[in-house]
């Protein structure tokens, strides 16, 4: 049976997970001025749940400020290197293994990499604007590389395998979530400037689980 109508499902089957120009056009929204103010451009792109595994065409969309690609099969996000104005990125529920595997957009503030396959946190010294980072349901064993994320206020690493925490002492973190089987003696030795952190981590350790930490 041949479909006579345009629909995302037909495009998915036809293109085997490769995002096309035609499909992109149906995912763009929020027409506004470019960052330079010289032209009108689409600033948002949302393409959830399309079984995408190749989004390289997005290298051409340099004016995007918000990119949502959850519930796909993406392994490569190098296209983000070509989006200098990007502010919000949602690539949750994909197959990513590289931690921030792209050149940093200088204004990137919110990133959701939850439900992927990442295991190593590399240094994010170039992400000074990053304020919210969600890494839930990955395979991280330690928290590190965030020392220079001077704007980071929300960090979530629920349901990982955390055994070591370092480099958070001088960050302005307000919400730290470590729900799940993240328990280790490292928490007993970890020193952080806010005593509420220490007390809460100790209490969770004694109860054999780690819960959300809210800093007031």
CB 93 within 8 A of CB 69: no
pLDDT number for residue 177:
85
* Secondary element (H or E) of residue 14: helix 8-15
Give the chain's radius of gyration (CA, Å): 19
With a CB cutoff of 8 Å and minimum separation 6, the contacts of 4 are none
With a CB cutoff of 8 Å and minimum separation 6, the contacts of 6 are 26
pLDDT number for residue 185:
44
- Which residues does the chain have with pLDDT short of 50? 1-6, 11-13, 185-186, 188-212, 214-216
Q: What does each C-alpha distance from 75 to 65, 97, 194 come to in angstroms?
A: 21, 7, 37
Q: How far apart are CA 91 and CA 56, in angstroms?
A: 14
Beta strands 40-46 and 28-33, pairing class? antiparallel
Long-range contacts of 63-70 (CB under 8 A, 24+ apart): 63/34, 63/35, 66/30, 67/91, 68/44, 69/94, 70/94, 70/112
Which domains, from first to last, does the chain contain? 1-115 (3.80.10.10), 119-216 (no CATH)
Q: How far apart are CA 215 and CA 201, in angstroms?
A: 12
CB 57 within 8 A of CB 78: no
* pTM: predicted TM-score of the whole model, two decimal places: 0.83
CB 104 within 8 A of CB 130: no
Q: Which DSSP category does 176 fall into?
A: E
pLDDT number for residue 10:
52
């Amino acid at each position: 049976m041949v479909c006579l109508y345009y629909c995302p499902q037909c495009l998915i089957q036809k293109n085997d997970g490769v995002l096309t120009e035609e499909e992109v056009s149906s995912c763009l929204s929020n027409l506004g001025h470019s960052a330079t103010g010289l032209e009108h451009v689409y600033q948002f792109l949302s393409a959830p749940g399309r079984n995408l595994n190749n989004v390289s065409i997005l290298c051409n969309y340099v004016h995007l400020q918000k990119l949502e690609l959850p519930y796909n099969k993406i392994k490569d996000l190098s296209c983000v290197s070509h989006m200098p104005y990007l502010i919000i990125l949602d690539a949750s529920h994909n197959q990513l293994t590289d931690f921030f595997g792209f050149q940093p957009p200088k204004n990137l503030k919110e990133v959701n990499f939850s439900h992927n396959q990442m295991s190593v946190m590399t240094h994010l010294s170039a992400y000074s604007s990053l304020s919210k980072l969600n890494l839930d349901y990955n395979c991280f064993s330690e928290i590190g590389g965030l020392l220079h994320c001077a704007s980071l206020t929300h960090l979530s690493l629920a349901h990982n395998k955390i055994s070591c925490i370092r480099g958070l002492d001088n960050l302005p973190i307000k919400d730290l979530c470590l729900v799940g089987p993240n328990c280790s003696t490292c928490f007993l030795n970890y020193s952080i400037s806010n005593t509420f952190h220490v007390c809460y981590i100790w209490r969770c350790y004694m109860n054999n689980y780690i819960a959300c930490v809210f800093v007031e």
